[in-house]
Amino acid sequence: MKKPRMTSKQIGTLAVDQVYFLLGSLSFAASINLFALPNHIAQSGFSGLSVIVHELFGLPVGMVNLALNIPLFILAFILLGWKFVSKTIWATIELSVVIDLMAKFVTWNYTQDRLLATFCCGALRGFGLALILMRGTTSGGTDIIGWLVRKRWPHISLGRAILAAESLVVLTSAWVFRDISAALYAVIMIFINTKVIDSMLYGLNNGKVFYIFSQDKAEEIARAIIDRVGRGVTLLPGKGVYTGQKREMILCVVHRGEVSPLRRLIKEMDPNSFMVMAEAQEVFGQGFAKDE
């Protein structure tokens, strides 16, 4: 029985995947070879473990990174499926090869300012990881752990899940470098790395959710939000348990730049209102990004 041929759409998807993986691998490899290693900035995740092995035994960082990922590939295959694992293996192999090739052929590195190197390291690392994550896969290591965590708790962002999984490796890296400042710089690097990942994955779609409680001016506030802020609202019936009074709750989602005008409007119309503002990690629909 003949295997079905790939469609032009599938071929195009694979080509786009390859572009993202290559650019992401180059950015990630640059963060390690050009900034982290020459400045003894403690790395995190499996790349950090690979750097530790490199420092102790001199083995290539990329090769060690690939070897360390094999047990996680098996776990991801069981929990996330072959389609996810196949792309992850592809991305991880490409990343590992690029890291070692860059270390071999690119001799330039930056050592003039360790703090500036830390910022560059975090930005390049986050940019590279985000490009790979955008294609629905990971570069292995703690990225897989991040996806596994998010599968169980979807409200946790990938950047924060990865951040939580990397702390122990940072401390170990600092011990290997015999430099406590390596861990302190790593904290800065990871913070920047996390912000870049979250900004690239969620930055265009996030916003703020407002829950507004007004005893007798809910309708007026809702109309004013529509007219003056330009955002849709939803009125939900509610009842105060303590007072027993019925009141309506206003639900509204806005962009970050609309937070201050909305708060001023509410306080202006009802100084006694009760307002809760929460983070909306992703927002899809009219006035925001369209879901794919």
| pLDDT tens, residue by residue, 91-100 | 999 999 999 9
Which helix (H) or strand (E) segment holds residue 113: the answer is none
Cβ contacts of 79 within 8 Å, gap of 6 or more: 148, 151
Domains and CATH numbers, the chain: 8-202 (no CATH), 207-280 (3.30.70.120)
State the CB neighbour count (10 A cutoff) for residue 4: 7
How far apart are the C-alpha atoms of 91 and 62, rounded to whole Å? 12
Residue 148 DSSP code: H
Q: Which residue do the tokens 């703690």 mark?
A: 142
The pLDDT assigned to 161 comes to 66
pLDDT score, position 155 = 66
Q: What is the pLDDT of residue 290?
A: 57
Across the chain, what does the average pLDDT equal?
82
pLDDT given at position 159? 59
pLDDT band at 273 (very low <50, low <70, confident <90, very high): confident
**Segment among 71-85, 86-100, 115-129, 177-191 with least mean pLDDT:** 71-85
Could you tell me which residues come within 8 angstroms of residue 269 by beta carbon, excluding any fewer than 6 positions away? 214, 217, 220, 221, 224
Tokens of 158: 């990938």
Full-model pTM: 0.71
pLDDT score recorded for residue 51: 83
DSSP 211: E
Tally Cβ neighbours within 10 Å of residue 157. 20
Q: How far is CA 147 from CA 45, 72, 76, 77, 84, in A?
A: 14, 12, 9, 12, 10
Query: For the chain, how are helix, strand and coil distributed in percent, rounded to 5?
Result: 65, 10, 25
Q: Reduce the DSSP state of residue 279 to 3 states and report it.
A: strand
